[in-house]
Structures are given as structure tokens and as C-alpha cells.
Chain A
Amino acid sequence: MIPASFDYVAPTTVEEALAALAQYGDEAKVIAGGQSLLPVLRMRLNAPEWVIDLGRIDSLRGIRDEGDSILVGATTRHSDVATDPLVAEHAALVARATATVADAQVRHRGTFGGALAHADPAGDLGAPALALDAEFVIAGPGGERVVPGSEFFQGLFETAVSEDELLTGVRIPKHTGWTAHYEKFVRVAHQWPICAVGATLKVSGGVIEGAAIGLTNMGSTPLRAAGVEQALVGQQASEEVVRNAAALAADGVEPPSDLNGDADYRRHLVTVLTRRAITKALGASWT
């Protein structure tokens, strides 16, 4: 319950933070809201010598309209993302998923970038970010670079952010007018999802013009259900189309086996949840 001793710095600019990282790199852990890091420190599963707190860097917080996309600052809190009008209008799936993260207290502290950088495959934000073609803005000693979701998530708790870099924000292309639903499956409310599916759709005149489907906790990273998307796009929205598309959700996934369900069960579950997520995103009355 008591973390191992560490030293603490709270830079007020990204440059200062990068300088601290350059100095302490492999001996440091970056803290934003701390909702994932502090449990790990309390149980002494990690004992960094330095903790670098991004909480005092004002420029990392907030949501900006960038024309074709919105930029969510890395340390924007879940509670702010979930209620932000820009997010609601242009990235509805992110708003839906963020509202389900952990509980109210955690959402008041936890941050968008912190959760993504933690890269727990059961985290609720990875799949929606991936599905919406989000780009991850990473600052480092050589300046800024931008990586797509497919490169950002590299494995269990592993991302493209290296020890001397920081995730500063996430750029989400506007999906204005897209409907969305995040279908999350848990045994008790305070659990990480056993499996979850984020679906967001662009429908015009009954025809599905765009579909983006992300899968949570179906592998060591968030996944995108490309097969399902392809089976939907260009089709007239119908129960049969959705059912047939959702059946493809388990293609190629390698879900974990744990107390809450083994891989076979999850492979089955993901097809049901995908169907429900799409159906609810469509606002359809069939189930």
C-alpha cells in the first residue's frame, strides 16, 4: 500500500518534461492522472526512482478543433472528454467509451493520453481510438512525430512511445454525423471489460456508407475488425447484413484466457457483442 520511495518532478512545459526524461529515462515513470500507475506503485510491482508528473503542464490539457480533426490533449481527464461537445459531435464513439471507463472518481482523475499510453488491452479507449483512425502525437528529443494507431499499440502494455518520449495528444479525424455505440461486457460494474466492441457508422438513406469497429481485450493490443467493416460498407442496413458481418468479428483474434472466460468463449462473445454494438449504433429495433 506504500509505494517504494521515489523523487518527484512536476515540469510545467513539455520541454522541461522531455529534459527530465532525457536525464532519468529508464529510471523514471511518467504520471498523468495516475489511475493506472498508482495501483502498480502501491503494490510495488514497479519502483521507479523518479516520477515525472505531467499534471502541471497546462498545454497538454484540453480539446481543440483542428479543422478536419479534433486534438485531445494527453492529460485531458476522462470526465472532460466524456462531456465535451466537440467529442460528442465528431467522435461519438470516444465519448461513449470514455463514459464507461472505471468509475466516476477514476474518471475525475484519469486522463485520455495516460490510459492510452498505459496500453492495457482491456482499457476502453484503445479500440475506439483505433477504429476512428486516431493519430498519436509523440514529442521527443528530436521533435514531434505522429504515428497511427496500428503502430502505436505494440503489445501488452507496450506502445511506440520510447523512454525519452511523451504522448502529448491524440488527433482524431472528425466522424461528424456518425452514430456510435460501445458495447461493454463485464461481470461486475467495476471490472475491466471481459470483451467490448466499439462500433461507429455513417448511414445515409439506409445505406451504410462508413463503418469502424474496434475490439477491446481480444488480443494483446486493441484490434480493428476490418472484415466486419468491409461486410457492412455499401450495404443496406438490415438485420441479416449486420448478423453476417458480426459473425466475422472473431476472425484472426487471439483473445486471452483468464478467470472471466477462456479464449473460445471470448471468440463467441465478440460476435454477439459486435452484432449488438452495430445494431445499437444503427438505432435499430431488432436485437
Chain B
Amino acid sequence: MAKNNDVWQGDNMTRISMRVDGMKVADDVEPRTLLVQYLREGLGKTGTVIGCDTSNCGACTVHLDGESVKSCNVLAVQADGCEVTTIEGLAEVSTGSTTESGLHPVQEAFRECHGLQCGFCTPGMIMQSVDLLNRNPQPSEEEIREGIEGNLCRCTGYHNIVRAVQYASRNATGQSGARSEEVDAL
């Protein structure tokens, strides 16, 4: 058995360890603890938020061993031994270059293109967009829209989120992202 040495008697606390935003952590948690709850309450990583209870909204999206997951839909014990990256560690942990302002290029793109308003969905939206671009560095508009279909936003109507992902894609692939072209201001 990997987790409980004594499989026949659950002691209702399980030891887990993982690396979160580059930091090694270990804790005893109740098995029912969701990864998002562990991140927020256990580690104070409140940048990752909870927006629903049916895993529709994607606000809690983080990277688990480099892949986007909804952290409300993973038990903390399931992430034992894994590497977790949240919005708070994205800029430092990611291997890509950060911008002058110390941001991940996708974070920068969201600001540049006004891809957020209230900002509640934003951490999840950015984490999913990063995953999308990791897999498909030059997505079409349709691919972007389908790639972030697991993330709900109520403020932006998605228009500028799509622009932000396009902007990040263009910048990352070396094409100049002239800001006036990207931003549908008026």
C-alpha cells in the first residue's frame, strides 16, 4: 500500500508531500481535503479560488505535474508526490522567460489586452491558457475558444480573453505583438 501502512484501519489523517510553486511542503491532511482547499487553507495560496461546486467554472485551475487540472476536482492526497504550480508561482516556476515586469507572458497579455475585469476567473483562465499554449503554441481563434471551454467568465464576454491568448501566442512565437493590433479598444 502506498498511503496507509495499515490499510485495515483508516486513521483519517494522511501524510502528503508535494512541491507547490517550487516550495517543498508536507502535511497531515484529512483525505477528504480537496487540493484547492489544501492550497488555500493549508498553504495560504489564496490566489487560486473556488467558483463552483460542479467543476464547471475552472476558476481553481492549477497545473499538476505540468498539466492543467481543476483543483476542486482532485483530492489533496491524490496530488501526493506531485508538482503543483498555481497562479502565484507561475512566473517564477515556468521555464519560459518572464517579462520585464516579472510576469509570465500570458499574465502580461491578459493585462495588455484587458482580458479581465473582476479578476475572479482570471487565475484559472490564465493557468488554462498557459496549458493550451504549451500544447498548441499557435492556436486559431476557434482552438483558443475550445481550449478554454472549461473556464467560465462572467465579465469579459471572452472577447478580450481570446485577444490576450492570441497576443501571448504571437509574442511567444517571435512575431511582434503590436499592441494596437491586438486590442480592440474602439
Q: Is the Cβ of B53 less than 8 Å from the Cβ of A55? A: no
Min CB distance A112 to B, Å, is 16
- From the candidates A6, A79, A103, name the one contacting B67 in the complex (CB within 8 A): A79
Q: In this complex, what residue of B is CB-closest to A51?
A: B31
**Interface digits, B1-42 against A, CB 8 Å rule (1 contact, 0 not)?**
111100110111010000000000000001110100100000
Q: A10-B3, A11-B7 are in contact. Are A53 and B149 (CB under 8 A)?
A: no
Of B70-78, B100-108, B109-117, B161-169, the one contacting chain A is B70-78
Q: Is the Cβ of B7 less than 8 Å from the Cβ of A38? A: no
CA A102 to CA B68, docked complex, whole Å: 14
CB-contacts of B150-173 with A (<8 A): 150-152
Q: Does B126 interact with chain A (Cβ within 8 Å)?
A: no
Min CB distance A34 to B, Å, is 6
**Which B residues touch A20, using CB under 8 A?**
7
Q: A10-B2, A50-B10 are in contact. Are A109 and B69 (CB under 8 A)?
A: yes
Q: A11-B1, A51-B31, A103-B149 are in contact. Are A34 and B78 (CB under 8 A)?
A: yes
If over half of A's interface residues share one DSSP class (helix, strand or loop), that class is named, otherwise mixed; here it is mixed
**Interface digits, A29-59 against B, CB 8 Å rule (1 contact, 0 not)?**
0010011001101110000001101011000
Q: Is the Cβ of A190 less than 8 Å from the Cβ of B150? A: yes
Q: Is the Cβ of A104 less than 8 Å from the Cβ of B74? A: no
Q: In this complex, what residue of A is CB-closest to B30?
A: A5
CA A126 to CA B56, docked complex, whole Å: 22
**Interface digits, A1-14 against B, CB 8 Å rule (1 contact, 0 not)?**
11111111111100
Q: In this complex, what residue of B is CB-closest to A79?
A: B67
CA A55 to CA B78, docked complex, whole Å: 8
**Which B residues touch A102, using CB under 8 A?**
150
Q: In this complex, what residue of A is CB-closest to B12?
A: A7
Residue among B31, B147, B152 with max Cβ neighbours from chain A (10 Å): B31
**Which B residues touch A109, using CB under 8 A?**
64, 69-70, 73-74
Q: A3-B32, A39-B54, A104-B68 are in contact. Are A9 and B10 (CB under 8 A)?
A: yes
Q: A5-B30, A55-B78, A106-B150 are in contact. Are A43 and B53 (CB under 8 A)?
A: yes
Q: Is the Cβ of A9 less than 8 Å from the Cβ of B55? A: no
**Interface digits, B68-101 against A, CB 8 Å rule (1 contact, 0 not)?**
1110111101100000000000000000000000
CA A79 to CA B11, docked complex, whole Å: 34
Min CB distance A102 to B, Å, is 7
Q: Does B128 interact with chain A (Cβ within 8 Å)?
A: yes
- From the candidates A8, A108, A190, name the one contacting B31 in the complex (CB within 8 A): A8
**Which B residues touch A84, using CB under 8 A?**
none
- Report the interface size for chain B: residues with CB under 8 A from the other chain: 42
- From the candidates A10, A23, A106, name the one contacting B70 in the complex (CB within 8 A): A106
- From the candidates B7, B53, B128, name the one contacting A42 in the complex (CB within 8 A): B53
- From the candidates B30, B55, B146, B147, name the one contacting A35 in the complex (CB within 8 A): B55
Q: Is the Cβ of A42 less than 8 Å from the Cβ of B34? A: yes
Min CB distance B75 to A, Å, is 7
**Which A residues touch B150, using CB under 8 A?**
102-106, 190
**Which B residues touch A259, using CB under 8 A?**
none
Q: Does B50 interact with chain A (Cβ within 8 Å)?
A: yes
**Which A residues touch B32, using CB under 8 A?**
2-6, 41
**Which B residues touch A41, using CB under 8 A?**
32
CA A49 to CA B132, docked complex, whole Å: 37
Q: Is the Cβ of A9 less than 8 Å from the Cβ of B3? A: yes
Of all A-B residue pairs in the complex, the 8 with the closest CB atoms, nearest first, are: A7-B10, A103-B150, A8-B31, A189-B149, A10-B3, A3-B32, A108-B67, A56-B2
What would be 26 A-B contacts, judged by CB atoms less than 8 Å apart? A5-B30, A6-B10, A7-B10, A7-B31, A8-B4, A8-B14, A10-B4, A11-B2, A16-B1, A20-B7, A23-B8, A38-B34, A39-B54, A43-B54, A50-B10, A51-B31, A53-B75, A103-B58, A103-B151, A104-B68, A104-B132, A104-B147, A106-B55, A108-B69, A109-B73, A189-B149
